Amino acid sequence: MTHSPPVEVVRRYLDEIYHQGRVEVVREICGDPLVRHDPGSTTSLSHQQQIDRISADLPAWQPWFTHEVLAGDAEHAVLVWNATGRTAERTLSGIEVFRVADGRITDVWNAPYATERWH
């Protein structure tokens, strides 16, 4: 079976889950569990926990992500992003590294988010 490259999986993650609000796509393109790596800690999330986490955040501000950088290789994608609220005045930016195996995001490394846009 041929799988999409990591950059395409991450693009789907943003477009379908966040922009279109189709949180059920988590079950297609994310691992179970997905491991979130933050400085000093890791969190493993099941599909349902991922869906619950995203579903709790989406209605509050409906973020629209743009990518300043989206690049990758056969295993990883790096995303430098800005997010602007569509329903609430809110701006965040960040850098994330995604590991993709067999067409699914298995790991995400996050740095703390900033409240201003990348320039």
Domain ranges of the chain: 6-110
Distance, CA of 29 to CA of 69 (rounded, Å)? 21
Distance, CA of 48 to CA of 13 (rounded, Å)? 16
Q: Which amino acid is at 23?
A: V
Per-position pLDDT tens, the chain of length 119: 789 999 999 999 999 999 999 999 999 999 999 999 999 999 999 999 999 999 999 998 999 999 999 999 999 999 999 999 998 899 999 999 999 999 999 999 999 999 999 99
Return the CATH number of 6-110, one of 1.10.460.10, 3.30.40.10, 3.40.140.10, 3.10.450.50. Answer: 3.10.450.50
Give the position of tokens 């995303």.
Answer: 79
Q: Which amino acid is at 52?
A: D
Please count the residues of the chain. 119
Whole-structure pTM over 0.75, yes or no? yes
Distance, CA of 117 to CA of 84 (rounded, Å)? 9
